[in-house]
Amino acid sequence: MQKRPKPDEKYYLSSMWGPTCDGLDWFVERCDLPEMHVGDWMLFENMGAYTVAAASTFNGFQRPTTYYVMSGPTWQCTQQIQNHSFPPEVEEQDVGTLPVSCAQESSMKRPSAACASTSINV
């Protein structure tokens, strides 16, 4: 998790399970987590093919909303390619200073100014 724990925050013994409804589909057997609520985000790096591709709607589970995050210049190139235009050369930049653009999978439209103005600090 990307937040700093508070000294007085209560933690709960937890386990983490994958999206397949299989009794063996756990990827963290035991860990301590703060109280969480529906809609809270957990970030995992380098999960490979073990993510949404393995999920199903079996047992009534809904597929999660998927968001893509990329730099502003990459977003512009992607949009030009999607519109069948050849992308202009993009000057190399320090990735730590690039503005973030993101879109929801269902619409793939450029997000609100609040999202578009966020910066990545690497």
Amino acid letter, residue 93: Q
Among 21, 31, 102, 115, which one carries the catalytic annotation?
21
Beta bridge partners of 26: 17
Q: Is 115 a catalytic residue?
A: no
Amino acid letter, residue 25: D
Residues in CB range of 109: below 8 A, 6 or more apart: 103
CA distance 71 to 82: 16
Catalytic residues: 21
